[in-house]
Amino acid sequence: LFWRQPMRRLAAEEVRDSFLQVSGQLNEQMGGESIYPPIPRDVLAGQSVPGSGWNTSPPDQANRRSVYVHLKRSLQVPILGQFDQADTDTSCPVRYTTTVPAQALGLLNGAFSNDQAAHLARRLEKERPSDLRAQAERAIRLTTGRTPSSTELDADVAYMKSVVASGASASEALRQYCLLALNTSEFIYLD
């Protein structure tokens, strides 16, 4: 019987899968061929034969669980590499967990996390149209699994209104809020 568990960061594959699940993009199909998620051109340019050997899967297939991602020793999917994916060059009896600034920067600025934030924003607009408070509540429930406090919701709604007041559209404000929600420690760490 466990009465306590130390806080731990999600493993690389769990981080990617959690982003896809929360945004509503996860394809839960089991079995089949390996998938090739989109990889930025500058990463592909670092291969021995730049730009070759990675045929990006169609979007519905590229969003399958990370266990199906094709592993290539010389090329890592950025989100998986940032969060300590197993080293493909040597045997890996233990996976070490690091916490470095590049992880937070990658989540804020990375194409994958920004795309998933946009998908989450569209999901919230569809599920809770025209209600910022309900959208913020749903986002917190999806990303943390808990009910937000009214103080927290007030602050979140005020943030989105301030983004709109600075000239952004309501959709862009919601996307930025979703990016923040996906970047919280509560989402990336299990406690």
Tens-binned pLDDT, residue by residue, of the chain (191 aa): 567 788 889 999 999 999 999 999 999 999 999 988 988 887 777 776 766 778 889 988 999 999 999 888 778 888 888 888 887 777 778 888 888 899 999 999 999 999 999 999 999 999 999 899 999 999 999 999 999 999 999 999 999 999 999 999 999 999 999 999 999 999 999 98
DSSP conformational letter for 33: S
pTM here? 0.90
Q: What is the pLDDT of residue 116?
A: 97
Q: What is the pLDDT of residue 13?
A: 94
Please check whether residue 103 is in contact with residue 109, taking contact to mean a CB–CB distance below 8 angstroms: no
d(CA 187, CA 106): 15
Three-state SS across 41-105?
A: HHHHCCCCCCCCCCCCCCHHHHCECHHHECCECCECCHHHHHCCCCCCCCCCCCCCCCCCHHHHH
Q: What is the pLDDT of residue 176?
A: 98
Q: What is the pLDDT of residue 22?
A: 98
